[in-house]
Amino acid sequence: MLPSVKANSIVAFDARFAAVMAGLGLDQCKGYVTALSGGPDSTALTLLTQRYANVTGKHHHAVIVDHGLREGSGDEAERVQTRLRRFGIGSDIIQITEPRPTAGSQEWARINRHHALLAVARQKKAALLFAHHASDQAETVAMRLLKSSGLNGLGGIACHRLQHDVVVARPVLGWMPDQLKAVCRHLDCDFEIDPSNQNHQFERVRIRKFLADLDRQDAATGDIALSSWQLRRLGVGAARLGAAADKACDRIIEQAVDLHPAGYASVTMAAFADLPQSFWALIMRRLIMAVGGGQYGAARMALDQLRQRCDDGVSATIGGCHFSPITTPSSRHASGANYHLFRETGRKVTATPIAAGQELVFAGCWLVKSAQAGMLHGFSDTPRIQGDSGAALHVKSMPDGWHLLPHRARQAIPVLTTLDGGSIYPQLKGYNSTQLPATMAARFLGMARRPTFLADTLIG
């Protein structure tokens, strides 16, 4: 290809990428972290992001996560790092050291990779960018369609969202894989080929082949009964409907729900009494995930049962959360009881090690930073962590103001047991701390809202 043609092509790609970044509001981010696997898609995204960062004066860093699932993965990671260094792209290689499970290794790898990338992006105060593209979107919609997913599921992969205090975005979600390969080709950058992309034991690989066969059939016969293009359009339509539903739910939640910095919610159920079940379930699913910190929403049948219990004014447990009525039995009436929503504790001890100076997410809903090393766990688990002798200390050293909190709310707040067996309680917004200066801070992530700069633009 002639140099002038290649130059014109990459300029066009740069312009398109800049337009997408502006359309998603990502031009207002201070910097970017790209998830770099070394394949053509993530390589192209990393190259485009670096070129965009150079022009806009933003910082950009790539992260390569080595799960150690394949022989030679460490050498591959170093090869990718060296290759991208030629383009002025700095990167880190993060090795996953968690014990590998005997089953579900792909899901284990995905979760650990995602958490590692979120931690880096949070540390750098940057948006986290993934290279999912249009074909990935069609495959996702197809898989969810086969599983009879609802509207949110059929919306496919989100082009942007806020997770664990980090903006997560996919700016090439509307690009075809051939276009991303063309970016690499025009910039003379090689890429890796992942052999697992040909392994038919994985559902996504089987779906990919199925869609490719359909697309070839459609091209040969002119029959467009089903194609990747149509699945992508279905995803765009479902996502737009889902976004409209979310906006309607936002207005209701603002009026009827108080999210407290101490990690719980107060809910006026009467405000939801006349809502259709689909909207009621959408609101409750969002609240349960915010307070409970779960990665997945509660099932439809469980939410139907929850509504019945709330209509009856009785307590309920769902999705790692406890719904507790705050009205007296004599004042209960259908759909009218006010509720507290707490993260559930007591069934098992949730304990997470933290290093001195480290910042991490605890229980999926607390962002914690500590000046000392130790073990994070719920307040209710302090006696069990320390042994029975710690029970008296547990009550005596409770921070000022915590006695004003509902009992179940206190139980779920993260506490640090230090290496010498002492207890450190976090500094919470709005509640006094007995520790000066504060050696541990915890922020309830359920309070976070979607950044206002994120546009409603949907790629497609």
Q: What are phi and psi of 353, to 5 degrees?
A: -70, 145
The band of 205, judged by pLDDT with boundaries at 50, 70 and 90, is confident
Q: Are residues 284 and 181 in the same domain?
A: no
In the numeric block, which tokens belong to residue 348?
Answer: 């098992």
Residue 299 and residue 387 in one domain: no
- Hey, what's the torsion of the CAs at 215, 217, 222, 227, to 10 degrees? -30
- Let me know if residue 200 belongs to a domain: no
* CATH code of the domain covering residue 15: 3.40.50.620
Average pLDDT over residues 261-285: 92
User: How many structural domains comprise the chain?
Assistant: 3
Which of these three, 297, 315, 343, is where a domain ends?
A: 343
Q: Is residue 251 part of a domain?
A: no
pLDDT (average), residues 169-175: 96
Q: What pLDDT, on a 0 to 100 scale, did the predictor assign at position 459? A: 36
User: Tens digit of pLDDT for each residue in 406-447?
Assistant: 999 999 999 999 888 888 888 886 665 555 456 888 999 987
> Cα Rg for the chain, rounded, in angstroms?
24
pLDDT at 449: 61
List pLDDT tens digits, range 274-283. 999 988 999 9
Share of the chain above pLDDT 70, in %: 84
Q: Which helix (H) or strand (E) holds 8?
A: helix 3-23
**pLDDT average, residue stretch 298-303:** 90
Are 291 and 436 part of one and the same domain? no
Claim to verify: residue 295 and residue 417 sit in the same structural domain: no
Question: For residue 48, which phi and psi values (nearest 5 degrees)?
Answer: -65, -40
> Does 59 lie in the same domain as 179?
yes
The larger pLDDT score, comparing residue 216 to residue 165, is at 165
My answer on whether 65 and 124 are in the same domain is yes
Residues 438 and 338 in one domain: no
Within this chain, do residues 23 and 87 fall inside the same structural domain, yes or no?
A: yes
User: What is residue 456's predicted lDDT score, i.e. its pLDDT?
Assistant: 41
The enclosing H or E element of 424 equals strand 423-424
Same domain membership, residue 185 and residue 304: no
Taking Cα atoms as reference points, which of 258, 245, 248 lies closest to residue 287? 258
Asked if pLDDT for residue 320 goes beyond 70, the answer is: yes
Q: Which of 130-134, 389-393, 436-440 is predicted with the least confidence, judged by mean pLDDT?
A: 389-393
- pLDDT (tens digit per residue) in 37-64: 999 999 999 999 999 999 999 999 999 9
Domain presence at residue 122: yes
Is the residue at 454 inside a domain? no
Last-in-domain residue among 301, 323, 343 = 343
Residues 183 and 44 in one domain: yes
Task: Kindly tell me if the per-residue pLDDT of 391 is higher than 90.
Answer: no
Does residue 359 lie within any of the structural domains? yes
Residue 206, domain member (yes or no) = no
What span, in angstroms and rounded, lies between the C-alpha atoms of 126 and 384? 38
Would 152 be classed as within a structural domain? no
| Model-wide pTM > 0.75 | yes
Which of the listed ranges 127-131, 232-236, 400-404 does the model predict with the highest average pLDDT? 127-131
Query: Is 181 in the same domain as 86?
Result: yes
List the alpha helices (DSSP H) in 129-202: 134-146, 151-154, 177-186
pLDDT tens sequence across 5-20 = 566 789 999 999 999 9
The dihedral over CA atoms of 407, 413, 416, 422, expressed in degrees to the nearest 10, equals -10
Residues 16 and 120 in one domain: yes
Domain containing residue 433: 352-447
